[in-house]
C-alpha cells in the first residue's frame, strides 16, 4: 500500500461526496485518521436553478447535493458545490449518445471517473490547496518497484476497479480510497455507529446517473434531433444473414438481450450482433454469445509488472469473472484493416483460455495480474 504522509501533518483531502453512505463513511474515516477534509459535490446533468441551491430547497437531484452539504456541516468540515454540467455533457453524455447511435454499448461510468471525478477534481483540488483527492469507491492502491497500481478491493463483491481502470499513475499517486479495506457490511455498521442509521439502510441506485428512470431509449429519442430518421424498423437476421423478422430500430437493442425482442422463433433468442450501418440486428442462441477472442483499442498500456510469471486475466463486464488470457497478441493485418476503418492507431487482440459470454463492443476490457490492474481498452 502507498504510505501517505503522517496524519500529524494534517494533509488536506478533497473528498467527492454524493450524499450517500459510501462517501459519507469515507469522510468519517478520513477525519478519524487526522486528515483535513474538504467536501465537494458536483452538478453533472441537472437543471437546478442557482436560487434553488441558495435556498437549499429539495427538488430533482438537489436532494442528494444538499444531503452531502448537510453531512459535511454535521461533521464540521467545509463543503463546496461545483458545476461540471457542460464538461459532463460534452465528455460523458455525448459519448453515450454517439456510441449507442453507432450500434455499440457505452460504459459512461468509466469516462466519468477518468475525465470528471478525477480529471476535473484534480483541478479543483489544486484550487483548494488539497494534497489528495478521495472517493467512496471500493478499490485500493498499491506500489510496486516504483510504480503505482490500482488494486482490487478487499470486498470482492463490491470491487469497482473495472470502472476505474483508466486512471493514470499520476492520478493514483494523489488518490485515497478510504473504503478499500472494508466490506459493505462494515461500512453500514460504521454509519450506524456514527448515528447515520438512515444512510445505512438507504437503497443504492443501480441506474445511470443521468437517466434516473433507466430508460436509455427514451433518453436517446429526447436527445438525438434526427433520432426517428436514423433509428427505424429493420431486419432481424441470423448469423448466416437470413431474415427472421422485423425489429424496431438497432439502437433499441444491446448484446445479450433476450427480452422485449417482439419475435417468436420457437426457442429463446438473444441479440448477438448489431450493425448500425445496415440497421440489422443478429439473433442467435445463448451459445452464440460465447467467444474466446476479442479485438480492442488499448488505452492504458500494460504496466511493467506484467513481466513477471503470474498469468494475465481479463474482465469484459463488471459482474463477470476474470478469465485467464491465453495469448495477448497484436495482429498487423487486423490492425491495419481496423485502423483504416475505425481511424484507430492500434488494435490489439486477446485470446482467452475459456469462452467468455457477451463480449460487447463499446464496453471495457480490463487486464489484471493477480489483484492489480495492469491495462485496459475499449472493445471494438
**What is the C-alpha to C-alpha distance for residues 4 and 174, in angstroms, rounded to an integer?**
9
- Catalytic annotation present for 91: no
Buried b (16+ CB within 10 A) or exposed e, 255-293: bbbeeebeeeeeeebbbbbbebeebbbbbbeeebbeeee
Q: In sequence order, which residues have a C-beta less than 8 Å from that of residue 306 and are 6 or more positions away?
A: 312, 369, 374, 375
Tally the residues of the chain.
Answer: 380
In the chain, DSSP assigns E strands to: 12-16, 36-43, 79-83, 132-134, 140-144, 147-151, 175-176, 234-237, 243-247, 270-275, 280-284, 290-300, 312-315, 323-329, 348-357, 364-369, 372-379
Angle between helix 94-101 and 216-223 (nearest 10): 100
The helix/strand count (H/E) of the chain reads as 14, 17
Contact 20, 64 (CB under 8 A): yes
**What is the C-alpha to C-alpha distance for residues 91 and 114, in angstroms, rounded to an integer?**
11
Q: In sequence order, which residues have a C-beta less than 8 Å from that of residue 179 and are 6 or more positions away?
A: 22, 25, 26, 29, 136, 137, 138, 153, 187
Contact 368, 151 (CB under 8 A): no
**The one catalytic residue among 91, 109, 112, 130:** 112
- Catalytic annotation present for 60: no
**The one catalytic residue among 52, 60, 130, 209:** 209
Buried b (16+ CB within 10 A) or exposed e, 183-197: bbeebbebbeebebe
Neighbours of 101 (CB within 10 A): 17
What positions carry a catalytic annotation?
A: 112, 209
Amino acid at each position: 500500500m502507498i504510505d501517505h504522509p503522517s496524519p500529524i501533518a494534517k494533509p488536506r483531502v478533497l473528498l467527492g461526496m454524493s450524499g450517500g453512505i459510501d462517501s459519507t463513511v469515507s469522510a468519517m474515516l478520513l477525519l478519524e485518521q487526522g486528515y483535513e477534509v474538504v467536501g465537494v459535490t458536483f452538478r453533472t446533468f441537472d437543471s437546478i436553478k442557482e436560487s434553488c441551491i441558495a435556498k437549499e430547497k429539495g427538488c430533482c437531484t438537489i436532494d442528494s447535493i444538499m444531503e452531502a452539504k448537510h453531512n459535511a456541516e454535521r461533521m464540521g468540515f467545509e463543503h463546496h458545490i461545483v458545476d461540471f454540467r457542460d464538461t459532463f455533457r460534452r465528455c460523458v453524455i455525448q459519448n453515450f449518445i454517439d456510441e449507442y447511435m453507432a450500434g455499440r454499448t457505452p460504459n459512461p461510468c468509466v469516462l466519468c471517473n477518468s475525465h470528471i471525478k478525477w480529471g476535473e477534481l484534480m483541478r479543483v483540488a489544486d484550487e483548494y490547496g488539497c494534497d489528495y483527492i478521495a472517493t467512496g469507491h471500493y478499490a485500493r492502491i498499491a506500489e510496486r518497484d516504483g510504480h503505482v497500481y490500482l488494486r482490487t478491493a478487499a470486498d470482492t463483491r463490491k470491487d469497482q476497479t473495472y470502472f476505474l481502470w483508466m486512471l493514470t499513475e499520476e492520478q493514483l499517486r494523489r488518490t485515497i480510497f478510504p473504503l478499500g479495506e472494508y466490506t459493505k457490511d462494515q461500512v453500514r455498521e460504521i454509519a450506524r455507529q456514527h448515528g447515520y442509521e438512515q444512510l445505512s439502510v438507504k437503497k443504492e441506485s443501480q441506474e445511470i446517473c443521468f437517466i434516473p428512470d433507466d430508460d436509455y431509449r427514451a433518453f436517446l429519442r429526447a436527445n438525438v434531433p434526427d433520432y426517428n430518421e436514423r433509428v427505424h424498423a429493420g431486419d432481424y437476421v441470423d448469423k448466416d444473414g437470413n431474415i427472421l423478422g422485423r425489429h424496431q430500430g438497432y439502437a433499441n437493442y444491446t448484446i445479450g438481450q433476450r427480452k422485449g425482442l417482439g419475435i417468436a422463433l420457437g426457442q429463446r433468442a438473444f441479440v448477438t450482433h448489431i450493425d448500425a450501418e445496415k440497421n440489422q440486428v443478429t439473433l442467435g442462441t445463448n451459445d452464440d454469445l460465447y467467444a474466446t477472442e476479442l479485438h480492442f483499442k488499448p488505452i492504458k498500456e500494460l504496466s511493467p509488472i506484467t513481466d513477471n510469471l503470474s498469468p494475465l486475466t481479463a474482465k469484459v463486464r463488471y459482474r463477470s469473472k476474470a478469465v485467464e488470457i491465453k495469448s495477448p497478441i497484436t495482429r498487423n493485418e487486423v490492425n491495419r484493416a481496423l485502423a483504416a476503418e475505425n481511424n484507430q492507431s492500434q488494435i490489439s487482440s486477446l485470446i482467452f483460455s475459456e469462452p467468455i459470454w457477451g463480449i460487447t463492443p463499446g464496453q471495457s476490457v480490463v487486464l489484471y495480474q493477480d489483484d492489480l490492474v495492469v491495462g485496459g481498452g475499449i472493445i471494438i
